[in-house]
Structure 1
Amino acid sequence: MEAHEHRLQVPRTARYYQLGELATAHQLFVVCHGYGQLASYFIRHFRLAVDHVPGTVVVAPEGLSRFYLQGNGGRVGATWMTSEDRLTEIEDFSAYLDTLLHQLRAACPADVEVTVLGFSQGATTVSRWLLRSRFTPVHLVLWAGTFPNDVDPAAAAALLARIPRLTVVCGDSDSYLPEERVNEQLALLRQLGAQPHMIWFEGRHEMKPPILHQLAQQ
């Protein structure tokens, strides 16, 4: 007898970290980590921006799936999605991020501006989320990651047309995203009607707090 696949929606607890006070926020950064990272470590890169740009708040949600990075113990990382049951995971994290954002904005001043930033796998994550969401940020930052190329071009073009600012950030020695792939990504975004601002830095597949500081100042 063949087994039949079913779906069951269940409540679960998601974790996120926050720097800064929502009640006095002028700008809110929602930042999504890369594959195998944890939000508690990822958010540390943003301390410089929060400490030196008044009114800046950073919130780092964590992927819903965790795993041991090596073997059966030791360091733990999180992921937003894998190839297994991928579409369901995308719908789940999109609903999660929508729920979180609604809660955060309710606690902020009405005129708070929201920037969405994704690093590595997080760049694809936030892109897929925004394609499903009614929310549009004032600034989308794709850091060492890509906008998905397997989505409906009309929906992608409509989303990118609504976002006032789009920034792509990458290291000049990033083995995961070499210059050739970055140029392909820029070409895709322009084909979809976007006008991305490109920032190169000296480094690899990593975050750079001084650049995050600059983004917060803008």
Structure 2
Amino acid sequence: MLPLNFTTSRTARYLCLGEAGPTTSQVWVCLHGHGQPLAELAAQLQHHAIPDRLLLLPEALSRYEQPQDANADGVIDAAPRTDAAWFAAETLLPDLTDLAVYLDALTAQVLAACPPDTPVTVLGYGHGAAAACRWLAGNGRAYERLVLVAPVFPSEIDRRATLVALPEHPVLVITDASLPKAASEGLMQDLLDVGLSAQQVQVDATGPLPLAALAGA
């Protein structure tokens, strides 16, 4: 017996570093990694939130509770942690459709409070990089630059087909030692093969993303 689909509205959560308003000159839409808490990504990006730059951090729609480990006495001494994922292999297509509708609406709401034609940078971390690419591929959402941090493209997503549908805007790939060299080289080759202007920067795996890694952004 196959499950049927039913579309319904969802209540999503997000963080803003900064405030949308008439003095906003940049908006960054930043997508977290698989199971990465918003607070963790916010800490990575906090020092990029300057007065005229708004960082928008949406949380993925598929939330789940992480089990907590018990201590030596068998007592769980920490509150449960709720994580989120952008998509699952079994429900990939409807998840990607929901992702696009959600991110389009949220971004439009934020940009409505900013000056017209405020430039948008899209940043994706880990699985959020794949989510960002699928959102922007053939979508029509206006943006100036795409930043992929430690990008992970699950096997169920056709990376080459996704990248070829992206607009011809600059792509910055930020990697660290956690990403195998072959994986980063393969991604860079795919980006160049489909005609995108791509640059790669390697950073330390620990600590906030350095300003230098974002090429002076």
TM-score (ref. length: structure 1): 0.85
AA aligned opposite 1:14:
A
User: Equivalent of 1:12, from 10, 13, 18?
Assistant: 10
Does 1:121 pair with 2:119?
Answer: no
1:110 aligns with 2:116: yes
Q: Distance in 1 between matches of 2:190 and 2:58?
A: 28
2:164 corresponds to:
157
- Alpha-carbon distance change, 33 to 84 in structure 1, aligned in 2, over 3 angstroms: same
Q: Which residue of 2 aligns with 1:46?
A: 45
Who is 2:174 aligned against? Answer: 169
Which letter does structure 2 place at the counterpart of 1:66?
Answer: R
1:210 alignment partner in structure 2: 210
Code of the residue aligned with 2:158 in structure 1: it is: D
Runs of 4+ with deviation above 6 angstroms: none
Q: Cα distance, 1:112 vs. partner?
A: 1.3
| Preserved contact between residue 26 and residue 111 of structure 1 (Cα < 8 Å) | no
Tell me the secondary structure at the aligned position of residue 84 of structure 1.
helix
C-alpha change, 1:160 and 1:132, in structure 2 (3 Å) is: closer
For the residues of structure 1 that align with 2:213 and 2:25, how far apart are their CA atoms?
16
1 CA distance for matches of 2:125 and 2:174? 9
- Residues in 1 aligned to 2:152 and 2:127: alpha-carbon distance in whole angstroms: 8
Q: 1:160 to 1:133 in 2, by over 3 A?
A: closer
Contact 1:120 1:145 in 2 (8 A): yes
C-alpha root-mean-square deviation of aligned residues, in Å? 2.3
Amino acid corresponding to residue 186 of structure 2 in structure 1: E
- The structure with the greater share of residues assigned to helix is 1
- Alpha-carbon distance, 1:132 to partner: 4.5
* Runs of 5+ unmatched residues, structure 2: 70-78
Q: CA deviation at 1:215?
A: 2.9
Q: What is the CA-CA distance between 1:217 and the residue it aligns to?
A: 4.2
| SS class of match (1:87) | helix
Counterpart-to-counterpart distance in 1, 2:165 and 2:92 = 24
CA 1:207/1:145 → structure 2, altered by over 3 Å: closer, same or farther?
Answer: farther
Q: 1:21 to 1:216 in 2, by over 3 A?
A: farther
After superposition, give the CA deviation of every residue in 1:168-213 in whole Å (9 maximum; x if it has no partner). Answer: 0011x21xx211110111011111111211111122xx663323x7
Greater shift, 40-49 or 88-97, is seen at: 40-49
1:72-121 CA distances to partner (integer Å, 9 max, x unpaired)? 97222111111121111111111100111111111111131100000000
- Show the counterpart of 1:37: 36
Whether the 8 Å contact between 2:32 and 2:59 is mirrored in structure 1 is: yes
Tell me if the contact between 1:115 and 1:139 (Cα under 8 Å) persists in the aligned partners: yes
| CA 1:111–1:85: 2 relative to 1, 3 Å | closer
Name the residue aligned to 2:80: 74
Structure 1 portions without partners, runs of 5+: none
Q: Are the counterparts in 1 of residues 66 and 81 from structure 2 also a CA contact under 8 Å? A: yes
Residues matched between the structures, number: 205
TM-score normalized by structure 2?
0.85
